[in-house]
């Protein structure tokens, strides 16, 4: 099936965009506080297993749908399963990123605020007080959502690909530095133990579904992003390289983020289960501690970190915006600028309540990560495993048989898609309601 759409232009640009979407705030912001709320090392182990056995096959499924169809989520279902109820999978995968964008942009606004505060280390006395205020979080949310949309207006090569090719290497270098510094803080060893010594007594069904939800969130699964981005990727590129590269880099980055943040949490005497504000309470402690000895270095590192957090947020939010934008362009004939403007307005309407009320914010997050994303991922593997023709899946997975290693592992991947992944996701998802 020919694909004449605008594409990323290179394998590195494609993997950088996929990795950028995957890493984002899912690793830097969400992963550490979910580790803190779910018992530490045992949660991490479950998260890693879920990513390797369940999330990577789902990544392949979504990639196959997107590149095979060369279309947005709804267009993909129309092309691959015309006139069937599978169109509702396309609807779900188009609406979910819009819901995520509403509260995700609030976190992006927080990161921009703390970036500006970093220039004089004048952080709020507590994150809880800052997030409960009105105008500062609201204005930051609007600015952040506007920046996101400006990047998406630039298109695939000049906007998304150009941004992620520069931002991802920079982000990686900064998080490595912060990880090294964090574990040298006095009292940080307790945080390292928390990350690497599992306590299995804390594990229950909710911890497992939270770990699975984090796997979905950190790899951008079940929200139409992989489907949409795959439609921009060349037929010559190897999806196994893209999938394993994205998953491996995401897992490694998440562990680095944990090392950068959790030791600092214990060094600062902060409760690990502090929730969404964990990095905004713990990281300022690192920077003020560093500045007490090296004033200029402390400020520079603080600015660079929250700059990198803002970059990480943007790499993900641009992918959230691109999903509905692609639908508006391809299905409704919108120009890119008008499509982005409409998504901005919808995101603004949905995001204001999240910016003003932390209860609504957390409800949106739990709804998406623990319900919508697993359901979307489950439907994707069922579609590829049982609805699509086996020869079409094989053709896409092996690039028409030209990738020999992919041909050899196809049987294993198909087993995971058809049996293990759907059964495991269904069992874990349903057990969370018991």
pLDDT in tens, 146-205: 999 998 888 655 555 566 666 677 778 888 888 888 898 888 999 999 999 998 998 888
Residue 311 pLDDT grade (very low, low, confident, very high; cuts 50, 70, 90):
confident
pLDDT tens for 31-79 read: 998 999 898 999 999 999 999 989 999 999 999 999 999 999 999 999 9
Going along the chain from its start, the domains and CATH numbers come out as 11-431 (1.10.4160.10)
276 closest CA partner among 211, 158, 362: 362
What does the pLDDT average to over 331-348? 94
Task: Determine the pLDDT at residue 1.
Answer: 39
pLDDT at 7 over 60: no
Residue 18 pLDDT grade (very low, low, confident, very high; cuts 50, 70, 90):
low
Task: Determine the pLDDT at residue 16.
Answer: 64
pLDDT at 417 over 80: yes
Query: What is the residue whose two structure tokens read 């390797």?
Result: 52
Task: Determine the pLDDT at residue 117.
Answer: 92
End-to-end CA distance of the chain: 45
pLDDT tens for 241-295 read: 888 988 888 899 899 989 988 998 888 888 888 788 888 887 887 788 878 888 8
Task: Determine the pLDDT at residue 345.
Answer: 97
Of the candidate ranges 210-214, 349-353, 408-412, the one whose mean pLDDT is the lowest: 210-214
pLDDT tens for 364-389 read: 988 888 889 889 999 999 999 999 99
Of the candidate ranges 17-31, 269-283, 402-416, the one whose mean pLDDT is the lowest: 17-31
pLDDT tens for 103-124 read: 999 999 999 999 999 998 888 8
Residue 92 pLDDT grade (very low, low, confident, very high; cuts 50, 70, 90):
very high
Task: Determine the pLDDT at residue 58.
Answer: 93
* Better-scored residue on pLDDT, 246 or 2: 246
Task: Determine the pLDDT at residue 414.
Answer: 94
Average pLDDT, the chain: 87
């Amino acid at each position: 099936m020919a694909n004449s759409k605008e594409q990323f232009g290179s394998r590195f640009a494609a993997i950088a965009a996929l990795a950028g979407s995957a890493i984002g705030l899912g690793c830097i912001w969400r992963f550490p506080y979910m580790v803190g709320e779910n018992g530490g090392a045992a949660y991490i182990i479950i998260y890693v297993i879920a990513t390797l056995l369940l999330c990577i096959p789902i990544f392949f499924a979504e990639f196959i749908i997107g590149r095979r169809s060369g279309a947005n989520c709804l267009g993909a279902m129309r092309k691959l399963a015309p006139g069937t109820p599978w169109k509702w999978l396309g609807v779900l995968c188009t609406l979910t990123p819009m819901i995520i964008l509403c509260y995700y942009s609030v976190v992006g606004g927080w990161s921009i605020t703390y970036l500006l505060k970093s220039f004089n280390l004048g952080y709020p006395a507590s994150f809880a007080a800052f997030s409960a205020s009105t105008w500062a979080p609201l204005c930051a949310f609007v600015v952040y959502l506007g920046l996101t949309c400006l990047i998406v207006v630039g298109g695939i090569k000049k906007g998304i690909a150009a941004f992620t090719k520069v931002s991802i290497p920079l982000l990686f270098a900064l998080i490595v530095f912060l990880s090294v510094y964090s574990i040298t803080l006095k009292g940080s060893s307790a945080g390292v133990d928390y990350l690497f010594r599992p306590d299995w007594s804390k594990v229950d069904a909710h911890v497992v579904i939270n770990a699975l939800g984090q796997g979905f969130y950190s790899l951008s699964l079940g929200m139409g992003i992989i489907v949409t981005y795959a439609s921009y990727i060349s037929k010559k590129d190897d999806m196994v390289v893209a999938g394993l590269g994205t998953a491996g880099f995401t897992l490694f980055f998440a562990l680095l983020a944990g090392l950068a943040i959790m030791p600092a949490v214990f060094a600062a005497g902060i409760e690990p289960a502090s929730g969404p504000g964990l990095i905004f309470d713990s990281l300022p402690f690192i920077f003020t501690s560093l500045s007490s000895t090296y004033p200029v270095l402390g400020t520079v590192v603080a600015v660079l970190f929250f700059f990198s957090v803002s970059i990480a947020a943007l790499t993900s939010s641009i992918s959230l915006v691109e999903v509905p934008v692609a639908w508006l362009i391809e299905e409704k004939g919108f120009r890119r600028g008008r499509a982005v403007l409409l998504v901005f307005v919808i995101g603004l309407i949905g995001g204001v309540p999240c910016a003003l009320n932390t209860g609504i914010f957390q409800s949106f997050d739990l709804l998406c990560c623990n319900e919508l994303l697993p359901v979307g991922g489950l439907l994707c593997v069922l579609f590829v495993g049982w609805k699509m023709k086996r020869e079409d899946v094989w053709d896409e997975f092996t690039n028409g048989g030209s990738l020999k290693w992919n041909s050899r592992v196809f049987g294993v991947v198909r087993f995971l898609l058809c049996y293990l992944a759907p059964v495991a996701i269904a069992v874990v998802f349903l057990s969370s309601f018991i």
